[in-house]
């Protein structure tokens, strides 16, 4: 197992995702002899996990069952331990596309935070790319390094612990893309520019507040960046539901219009055996609330020198 | 490879045969660089020959006559002596007469060889109301005129970003109106990465296929399932992938999926032609022979007799030779096709593909149900559809059948912003929609009984209550 390569069989030391049910998952580290408690009972790593195929069903001690999944950056994003507010898959997907990331890309990122975006970048740039990630918080930098090691991706990433606004990314003229998710991105634009290859590259800055965006765009313009573009993207989920809608009773009518006629008027089949006649609709409704804002994404191109 | 220091290596320079993307402002066009070939872009025509040898990302000016010239270093165009400006527009009357230059005047200026920047300056000088506009309005005016009269073009290396935006802007119908942010979701939700084995079924001109291949970087394999005659690859070609990428690409006809699943796919020579024109082709081949012979017969009825004309003999021998050559070429092609079919079948047979991407005008439900069988457990799949209802059907079918979890029907809301000092706001026009996605993860196939346990992802109506807790 690794976050950048699929495997078929679960092995000791793997990080796997246990799927317990709707919107309920947890990551666990597979260790010989270890046990994991779940609401459906105990999972014994040696007998239930090691040697099993990813995707199989595991029956727990209480009789209930779970699925064991191969980790992916997307699953990691919704299951990782938060040390900071993280980026979610919707934004990550757009960042990946707009920064033109692909195998072999060299990327500079700051701040590392909880590593949500980092894992996604690593997956996309493997096996020939590299990620230089800068985190000014010592413990977070340490934790990130630990996780990259556990997830078997440390050969693709270099973590540096310093302030990107003061000391840059620690490398120059090598990046195809730079990503900034820091409080004052305008202070890092000079460093971003020097980290990027002379032939040009792409930049992205993520900021929750419009004032930050304004200052960043100004800085980008001053530094000669082009194609400056700010957008936001939100995911709308459609919950598929089967609903039953009762039909009204207009009383008996001349010409014997019965409920089956009414049902067919509505274009649906009548549901038999219900007290008041109803029709079934298979539809999708929006959830009660949705994420209304994560942050503004500002993209720009550093032109050819 | 990761720390490639030499930025000016061959890969960064434009060459003949390269597929490039032309850009001006927000408009993109994909073309191939060909010798002395006229290219039309944004109502201008020009040749790309002078671009060859230059670095990608270079900006050129289109000169009269259609040749490209390197654009001189940018003199900040916005500092066009705007000393005078008004406070608001209360006295500005828009009677359409404030610009003193006529269309013909402008044409004349163009013919005189005036650059875009100079024409804009002329327009400003000949506008009676320019000095009364507010500074913001002046800036907006200049930007608008620049966009209209400047004639540069930047030549870029193709990428998913550029091509997805191009197709969505120019020919959305060709790609089932797949918007680029939805494309972004497909590639990420599908966990498309180097080294995997991905099955793609698309009718998006090859754009989705190309995007998948870009994310795979030439590692792993992609199997393109295709309906009908043959796979569409035009969009994929526009990416300009190096040749070794093409070795990772396979194709398999949808019409043979059932036989493959049944294990009865015949890969022997006689079944080589995947379009099931095999028999027909064979017939036509033989009929070609017979017609050739009869042609000979009809045109030279005397040839039934022993021919003594050596020239005639030579011509007949030549015809025989050509026929034989054609037959041989056909045989080679059929063998190639057979080999390709066999290699694609071998990749599919194991039923252990790492992912599935569907984006087509076909009803997604049967496509999905059919192709999921080839995917290993614990792998993501993504289905795109321009419309919502077909995906609702897929969702329902999958819930019934089992074998998939974390099903999500989503679409993405996208909004651009204008960010300028004191003028920051969302852009006026917004995309109405970019299509819908159904995504999920495969799991080991399930028995129906087990499925009805407490794992329902759909909260149920009050009347039916599923058992929540297992026996404890």
Q: Is residue B260 predicted with pLDDT exceeding 90?
A: yes
Would you say A75 is a known binding-site residue?
no
Q: Is residue B290 predicted with pLDDT exceeding 60?
A: no
Spatial separation of the C-alpha atoms in residues B60 and B33, rounded to whole Å: 15
Of all residues in chain B, the one with the smallest CA distance to A291 is: B413
Query: What does R_g of chain B's alpha carbons equal in angstroms?
Result: 31
Tell me whether residue A287 is in a domain: no
> A81 and A59, same structural domain?
no
Mean pLDDT of B77-99: 80
Instruction: Check if the beta carbon of residue A122 is closer than 8 Å to that of residue A131.
Output: yes
Which of B196, B443, B461 minimises the CB distance to A244?
B461
pLDDT for B133-178, tens place per residue? 999 999 999 999 988 888 889 999 999 999 999 999 999 999 999 9
User: Which of these three, A71, A95, A116, is where a domain ends?
Assistant: A71
Is the pLDDT higher at B11 or at B452? Answer: B11
Residue A293 burial (C-beta neighbours within 10 Å; 0-12, 13-18, 19+): exposed
**% of chain A with per-residue pLDDT over 70:** 93
pLDDT at B63: 84
pLDDT at A272: 55
Mean pLDDT of B26-52: 93
**Which of B1, B2, B433 to mutate: most A Cβ within 10 Å?**
B2
Q: Is residue B300 predicted with pLDDT exceeding 50?
A: no
pLDDT for A240-291, tens place per residue? 999 999 999 888 888 755 656 666 666 655 555 545 689 999 999 999 999 9
**Which of B76, B188, B453, B454 to mutate: most A Cβ within 10 Å?**
B188
Spatial separation of the C-alpha atoms in residues B383 and B201, rounded to whole Å: 9
Residue B397 burial (C-beta neighbours within 10 Å; 0-12, 13-18, 19+): middle
User: Which of these three, A71, A93, A117, is where a domain ends?
Assistant: A71
Count of CB atoms within 10 A of residue B279's CB?
A: 11
Instruction: Give residues 35 to 54 of A whose Cβ lies within 8 Å of B.
Output: 40, 53-54
Query: CA-CA-CA-CA torsion for B182, B185, B190, B193, nearest 10 degrees?
Result: 110
Count of CB atoms within 10 A of residue B334's CB?
A: 18
Is the pLDDT higher at A13 or at B472? Answer: A13
Domains for chain B: give ranges and CATH numbers: 11-74 (3.10.330.20), 103-151 (no CATH), 159-264+323-445 (3.40.50.150)
Which of A21, A69, A217 minimises the CB distance to B455?
A21
Instruction: Give residues 451 to 470 of B whose Cβ lies within 8 Å of A.
Output: 453-458, 461, 470
Q: Is residue B81 predicted with pLDDT exceeding 70?
A: no
Is the pLDDT higher at B7 or at B401? Answer: B401
pLDDT at A29: 96
Residue B392 C-alpha from the chain's centroid? 26
Tell me whether residue A265 is in a domain: no
> A82 and A227, same structural domain?
yes
Instruction: Check if the beta carbon of residue A87 is closer than 8 Å to that of residue A291.
Output: no
Residue A116 half-sphere exposure toward CB, CA atoms < 13 A? 23
Is the pLDDT higher at B388 or at B65? Answer: B388
Q: What is the DSSP letter of A47?
A: I
Would you say A135 is a known binding-site residue?
yes
List of E strands, A93-225: 106-110, 130-134, 157-160, 177-180, 201-207
Mean pLDDT of A43-49: 95
Spatial separation of the C-alpha atoms in residues A157 and A77, rounded to whole Å: 18
pLDDT at B227: 95
Sign of CA dihedral A198, A201, A205, A211: positive
Spatial separation of the C-alpha atoms in residues B177 and B175, rounded to whole Å: 5
Spatial separation of the C-alpha atoms in residues A290 and A100, rounded to whole Å: 28
Spatial separation of the C-alpha atoms in residues A13 and B355, rounded to whole Å: 25
> A207 and A65, same structural domain?
no
CATH number for position A121: 3.40.50.150
pLDDT at A78: 95
Highest mean pLDDT range out of A258-272, B103-117, B298-312?
Answer: B103-117
Q: Is residue B298 predicted with pLDDT exceeding 50?
A: no
pLDDT for B455-470, tens place per residue? 544 444 444 344 443 3
| H helix count then E strand count, chain B | 14, 15
3-state secondary structure at position A85: coil
**Which of B28, B213, B403, B419 to mutate: most A Cβ within 10 Å?**
B419
> A165 and A24, same structural domain?
no
Task: Note whether A302 contacts B: Cβ–Cβ < 8 A.
Answer: no
- For A250-254, which contacts have Cβ atoms below 8 Å and span 24 or more sequence positions? none
Mean pLDDT of A22-48: 94
3-state secondary structure at position B438: strand
Residue B138 C-alpha from the chain's centroid? 39
Would you say A117 is a known binding-site residue?
yes
Neighbouring residues of B299: CB distance < 8 A, sequence distance ≥ 6? none
Instruction: Determine the Cα angle at B50 with ends B46 and B51, to 5°.
Output: 90
Tell me whether residue A200 is in a domain: yes
Which of B7, B161, B450 minimises the CB distance to A197?
B7
> A215 and A201, same structural domain?
yes
> A207 and A94, same structural domain?
yes
Neighbouring residues of B175: CB distance < 8 A, sequence distance ≥ 6? B167, B168, B204, B205, B207, B208, B235, B359
> A102 and A22, same structural domain?
no
Give the count of domains, chain A.
2
Tell me whether residue A275 is in a domain: no
Tell me whether residue A229 is in a domain: yes
Q: Is residue B1 predicted with pLDDT exceeding 90?
A: no
**Could you tell me the strand order of the sheet in which A65-69 lies?**
A24-29, A15-21, A65-69, A57-59
> A142 and A29, same structural domain?
no
Q: Is residue B297 predicted with pLDDT exceeding 50?
A: no
Tell me whether residue A21 is in a domain: yes
pLDDT at B171: 96
User: Which of these three, A56, A71, A86, is where a domain ends?
Assistant: A71
Instruction: Give residues 183 to 202 of B whose Cβ lies within 8 Å of A.
Output: 183-185, 187-189, 191, 193-196
Instruction: Check if the beta carbon of residue A201 is closer than 8 Å to that of residue A304.
Output: no
> A214 and A90, same structural domain?
yes
Spatial separation of the C-alpha atoms in residues A191 and B375, rounded to whole Å: 44
pTM value? 0.88
Tell me whether residue A96 is in a domain: yes
> A194 and A151, same structural domain?
yes
**% of chain B with per-residue pLDDT over 70:** 82
First to last CA, chain B: 57
Task: Note whether A259 contacts B: Cβ–Cβ < 8 A.
Answer: no
Q: Is residue B443 predicted with pLDDT exceeding 70?
A: yes
Categorise residue A130: left if φ over 0, alpha if ψ from -120 to 50, beta otherwise.
beta
Q: Which domain holds residue A122?
A: 75-234+292-302
Mean pLDDT of B200-212: 98
Which is nearest to A54 in space by CA: A75, A37, A24, A34? A75
Tell me whether residue A19 is in a domain: yes
Residue B125 burial (C-beta neighbours within 10 Å; 0-12, 13-18, 19+): exposed
pLDDT at B71: 77
pLDDT at B434: 95
Lowest model confidence (mean pLDDT) among A110-124, A286-300, B452-466: B452-466
pLDDT at A252: 87
Mean pLDDT of B425-439: 94
Count of CB atoms within 10 A of residue B19's CB?
A: 16
CATH number for position A35: 3.10.330.20
Sign of CA dihedral B162, B163, B169, B170: positive
> A96 and A64, same structural domain?
no
pLDDT at A269: 56
pLDDT at B289: 42
pLDDT at B228: 86
Lowest model confidence (mean pLDDT) among A78-87, A124-133, B7-16: B7-16
> A133 and A27, same structural domain?
no
pLDDT at A260: 63
| H helix count then E strand count, chain A | 8, 15
């Amino acid at each position: 197992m690794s976050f950048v390569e699929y495997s078929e069989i679960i092995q000791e030391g793997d990080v796997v995702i246990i799927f317990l049910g709707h919107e309920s998952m947890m990551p666990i580290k597979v260790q010989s002899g270890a046990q994991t408690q779940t609401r459906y009972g105990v999972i014994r790593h040696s007998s239930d996990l090691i040697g099993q195929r990813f995707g199989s069903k595991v029956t727990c001690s209480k009789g209930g069952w779970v699925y064991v999944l191969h980790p992916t950056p997307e699953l990691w994003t919704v299951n990782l331990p938060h040390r900071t507010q993280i980026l979610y898959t919707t934004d990550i997907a757009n960042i990946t596309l707009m920064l033109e990331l692909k195998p072999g890309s060299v990327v500079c990122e700051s701040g590392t935070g909880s590593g949500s975006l980092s894992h996604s970048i690593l997956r996309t740039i493997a096996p020939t790319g590299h990620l230089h990630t800068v985190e000014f918080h010592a413990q977070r930098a340490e934790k990130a390094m630990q996780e990259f090691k556990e997830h078997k991706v440390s050969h693709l990433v270099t973590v540096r612990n310093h302030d990107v606004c003061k000391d840059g990314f620690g490398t120059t003229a090598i990046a195809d893309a730079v990503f900034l998710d820091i409080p004052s991105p305008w202070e890092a634009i000079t460093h971003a520019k020097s980290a990027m290859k002379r032939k040009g590259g792409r930049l992205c800055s993520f900021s929750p507040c419009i004032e930050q965006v304004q200052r960043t765009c100004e800085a980008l313009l001053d530094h000669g960046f082009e194609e400056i573009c700010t957008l936001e993207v939100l995911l709308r989920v459609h919950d598929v539901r089967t609903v039953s809608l009762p039909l009204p009773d207009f009383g008996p009518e001349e010409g014997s219009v019965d409920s089956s006629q009414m049902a067919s008027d509505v274009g649906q089949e009548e549901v038999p055996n219900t007290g008041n006649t109803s029709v079934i609709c298979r539809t999708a409704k929006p959830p009660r609330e949705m994420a209304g804002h994560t942050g503004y994404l500002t993209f720009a191109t550093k032109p050819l020198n | 490879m990761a720390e490639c220091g030499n930025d000016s290596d061959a890969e960064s320079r434009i060459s003949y045969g390269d597929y490039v993307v032309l850009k001006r402002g927000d408009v993109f066009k994909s073309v191939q660089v060909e010798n002395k070939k006229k290219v039309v872009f944004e109502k201008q025509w020009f040749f790309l020959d002078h671009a060859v040898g230059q670095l990608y990302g270079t900006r050129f000016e289109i000169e009269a006559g259609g040749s490209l010239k390197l654009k001189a270093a940018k003199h900040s165009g916005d500092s066009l002596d705007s000393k005078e400006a008004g406070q608001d527009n209360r006295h500005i009357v828009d009677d359409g007469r404030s610009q003193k230059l006529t269309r013909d005047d402008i044409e004349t200026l163009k013919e005189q060889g005036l650059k875009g920047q100079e024409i804009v300056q002329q327009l400003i000088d000949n506008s009676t109301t320019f000095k009364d506009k507010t500074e913001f309005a002046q800036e907006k005016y200049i930007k608008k005129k620049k966009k209209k009269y400047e004639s540069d073009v930047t030549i870029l290396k193709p990428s998913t970003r550029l091509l997805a935006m191009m197709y969505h802007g120019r020919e959305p119908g060709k790609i089932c109106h797949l918007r680029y942010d939805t494309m972004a979701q497909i590639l990420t939700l599908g966990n498309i990465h180097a080294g995997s084995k991905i099955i793609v079924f698309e009718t998006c001109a090859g754009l989705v296929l190309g995007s998948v291949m870009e994310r795979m970087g030439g590692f792993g394999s992609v199997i393109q399932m295709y309906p009908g005659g043959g796979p569409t690859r035009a969009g994929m070609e526009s990416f300009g992938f190096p040749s070794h990428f093409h070795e990772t690409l396979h194709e398999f006809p949808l019409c043979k999926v059932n036989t493959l699943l049944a294990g009865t796919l015949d890969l022997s020579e006689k079944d080589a032609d995947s379009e099931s024109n095999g028999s027909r082709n064979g017939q036509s081949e033989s009929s070609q022979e017979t017609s050739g012979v009869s042609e000979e017969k009809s045109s030279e009825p005397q040839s039934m007799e022993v021919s003594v004309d050596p020239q005639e003999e030579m011509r007949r021998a030549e015809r025989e030779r050509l026929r034989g050559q054609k037959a041989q070429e056909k045989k080679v092609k059929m063998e190639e096709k057979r080999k390709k079919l066999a290699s694609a079948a071998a990749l599919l047979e194991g039923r252990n593909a790492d992912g599935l991407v569907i984006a087509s005008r076909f009803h997604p439900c049967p496509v999905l149900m059919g192709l999921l069988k080839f995917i290993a457990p614990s792998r993501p799949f993504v289905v795109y559809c321009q419309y919502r209802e077909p995906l609702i059907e897929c969702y329902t079918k999958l819930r019934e059948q089992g074998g998939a979890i974390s099903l999500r029907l989503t679409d993405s809301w996208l909004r651009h912003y204008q960010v300028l000092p004191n003028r920051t706001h969302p852009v006026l026009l917004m995309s109405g929609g970019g299509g819908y996605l159904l995504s999920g993860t495969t799991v080991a196939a399930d028995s129906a009984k087990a499925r009805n346990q407490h794992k329902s992802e759909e909260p149920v109506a009050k009347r039916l209550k599923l058992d929540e807790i297992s026996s404890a």
